[in-house]
Structure 1
Amino acid sequence: MHMKDGPEITVISVCVGEEHWTGYLELYYQKEVADLARLNHENTRKLLGYCIDSSLFTRMLVFEYVSNGTLYEHLHYKEGCHLSWSRRMNIIVGVAKSLRYLHTEIEPPFTISELNSSAVYLTEDFSPSLFDFESWKMIVTRLESSAHSINL
């Protein structure tokens, strides 16, 4: 998606019935927005904005688009064809720099709940950009389980 006269973006959206959105999930969403907004490193996904819409009950996060998919995709589906040893080393060094930043250079430290090749996004020049998608999977899982318990 492109913003009008702006960069290409990625939007992560959770659209649910308001009855399934708990106070805990709202606090978790607000904490996640605050945590992501303070990240400012070349190897982390940059939060550009967020949306809280009560009329359609939507929660969204807007990030810079990262064009080359995940490291996981390159290792397992694209046969690693574009990942020379020098590219692999640049990815490793970029991930290490990002982790140093997240764990020692910001206060309080920011942790990635599950660091794996799916959390490493690759830019056009194959620079790594970390993003913790697992926290959003947790929100969806909680929503699905609460919807399921209501439907029983």
Structure 2
Amino acid sequence: MHMKDGPKIAVISVCVEEEHWTGYLELYYQKEVADLARLNHENTSKLLGYCIDSSMFTRMLVFEYVSNGTLYEHLHYEEECHLSWSRRMNIIVGVAKSLRYLHTEIKPPFTISELNSSAVYLTEDFSPKVYFSDTIV
């Protein structure tokens, strides 16, 4: 998806029907937006915006688009794996740097409930971008 006269974006929307949306879920969503907005590292996903619309119930998170698929896809679905050992090591180091940033460099530390290869997106030059939107969306 493209923003008008802007970059490509990735949009994640909530899969909860309005009648099941509670005050607790709303607070959880708002906390997630606040937590994601404070992340600023080359190997973490960049939150560009969010949507809260009550007239037509909508909750969305808007991230920078990372065009080269996930690490999982490259490891399990690519017919010709383009992940040399050098690229794999660069991905591992990038993910480790993002974890160090999340756990030691920002206050309060950012907690992660699950990290797997499906949450690691790769740029065109195979740099990792870790996406942390695994809560209610």
Q: Report the TM-score when normalising by structure 1.
A: 0.85
Query: Aligned partners of 1:45, 1:123: CA distance in 2, in Å?
Result: 11
Aligned pairs for 1:37-116 within 5 A: 37-79=37-79, 81-116=81-116
The count of corresponding residues between Structure 1 and Structure 2 is: 137
Residues 60 and 85 of structure 1, relative CA distance in 2, 3 Å threshold: same
Seq. identity, %: 89
Query: Aligned partners of 1:65, 1:114: CA distance in 2, in Å?
Result: 21
In the alignment, what sits opposite 2:130?
A: 130
Give the secondary-structure state (helix, strand or coil) at the position aligned to 2:52: strand
Give the secondary-structure state (helix, strand or coil) at the position aligned to 2:14: strand
In the alignment, what sits opposite 1:22?
A: 22
Moved over 6 A (4+): none
Query: Aligned partners of 1:58, 1:80: CA distance in 2, in Å?
Result: 39
> Which protein is richer in helix relative to its size?
1
Aligned residues: CA RMSD: 1.3
Letter in 2 for 1:64: E
Task: Mark the runs of 5 or more structure 2 residues left unpaired by the alignment.
Answer: none
Aligned pairs for 1:3-22 within 5 A: 3-14=3-14, 16-22=16-22
**Higher relative contact order, chain-length normalized (CA < 8 Å, sep 6+):** 2
Once the two structures are TM-superposed, the CA of residue 112 in structure 1 deviates from its matched residue by 1.9
Once the two structures are TM-superposed, the CA of residue 16 in structure 1 deviates from its matched residue by 4.4
Query: Aligned partners of 2:133, 2:76: CA distance in 1, in Å?
Result: 19
Equivalent pair of 1:8/1:65 in contact (CA under 8 Å): yes
Output one character per residue of 1:49-73: Cα deviation in whole Å (capped at 9) or x when no partner: 0010000010010000011111011
In the alignment, what sits opposite 1:118?
A: 118
Letter in 2 for 1:96: A
Q: Report the TM-score when normalising by structure 2.
A: 0.94
Task: Mark the runs of 5 or more structure 1 residues left unpaired by the alignment.
Answer: 141-152
